[in-house]
Structure 1
Amino acid sequence: MSKVILVTGASSGIGKSIATFLSKKGYKVFGTSRNPKNVENFSFEIIALDVLKMETIEKAVAYIIKKEGRLDVLINNAGMGITGPIEDTPTDEMRAVFNTNLFGAIDVMKAILPQMRAQKSGLILNVTSIAGYMGLPFRGLYSATKGALELVTEAVSMEVRSLGIKVVNVAPGDFATNIAAGRYHTPVYENSAYKENYQTNLNLMDAHVSGGMDPLEMAKTVYKIINTKNPKIHYKVGGFMEKFSIVLKRILPDKWYQEIVMNHYKL
């Protein structure tokens, strides 16, 4: 029996790449978008789901279960970016990105877990970020949301293991996607104490994304995890230096590591 898979945030970027790849591998894939009417010519079915609206999450999950009778894999990918100096970024925008990246992901898990418990099986993959392993200048809030989801993943994986459900996270580095278009950018204010450094870093972020890896690499990793009997809790997908930066953070004194990061970001 072909696995039934739900991929949130599948209308573009990493989510679209994962859903397309898995559908071509023969899985029954449902992708989600807040506005599915604007999405055309996909190899998988797109359904409406907004992670900020629990009623849309519950409706989407109920639709899949009614149509297929089961739901085997959740790929919790929907999210948003945010940039800006902590001092200059509106607190309401900070709350909004936590609501999407953390609480939205949690609500999708909560909607799906009852079905997986009934099946006594299931796999949840939370898409986090290598940025979630460290506080990055002018991306501190994004790092915080993804780091929080990493820890929630660890906790949930222990809570549901005896129920036959596996929970893992996959942390991508920089990928060539349109994430910058959907990111909240705190404006570069003329009178800001961070004006020059922030503008320099915005330029660096855009360059990193445009020169990033092919999202197909994420899709291949997800496919491998789905077909692994006993998957790990944490997976990282990115360039050597991105992954090595996590190792350095573990072994270097805090100040040394901070100097390396600041030098990288020209601070």
Structure 2
Amino acid sequence: MGPITMSIEEPAHNSSFLGRTEGIHFHGRIDAMDPAPGQLWTRWYSSLPAVAGRPPELQVPVDLDKVAISPAGGALSFDRDLWIGSHAITFTVKDVAGDDKDALTDVRYAGMAGGAPAPGKPASGESVPAQPKPCVIHVLIAEPTRLPPLGSDGRTPITRAGGVWAEAPVAWPDPAYQAVNRLTYRWVFATPSNTPVAHLGPGDLSFAQRTEDHPPCVGVAPLPASVPAGQYELTLQVGLWDKDTAKFTRYDEKTVAITVTG
């Protein structure tokens, strides 16, 4: 099989996007083929589901367009939104259109770019022999979940036992995902007059799998004693946390009016 030299020009490794407002531009480059194989078929993939909801199930024969993030038929450049999480992006190319066993047997030229960093190289983005330069991007979306219906006062009642929750990548518990994850969650409790009272996170979070009532989510439950019962403006922040400054370098946030009971 002949190699194809290729690269991901956009998005840049370790770049971040505010998922509610910023679309993502993807652009790949094919640099060298020896000898030229003729027509090529490209696909782009993410290590996470691209959109909210249940990931599509692959049928037999396999239809990889269902899980690819690129348009059907392939593209070197395109725009699209992605859902929350740290996504390892992979750009692939081959000289055969199909994906069944017979088609793959006929492949003569193929290549790939991007993917997760090699073990031991989680931060630098440097490539190692036989390992493409990685491409991991971070999509930041703050979305509170598992919220009860609004109370008669227009506030959401939160029980101490129930805690606070936020939408999270479906792969959150997977060690392979955590090897590339940079998302940090923080809940800030302030009085209705905007006086800070307490914050939760960064720290260990509980994970809840998707149910019919809520998406995959992480949270803190029960609420600690540092959050007294009462009315709050609760701001969920999801972003990239700098441990040295103990601050976010970039984040998305969403505020809801709540009443903590119990």
| TM-score range for the pair, normalised by the shorter chain length | under 0.3
| TM-score (norm. length: structure 1) | 0.27
More helix by share: 1
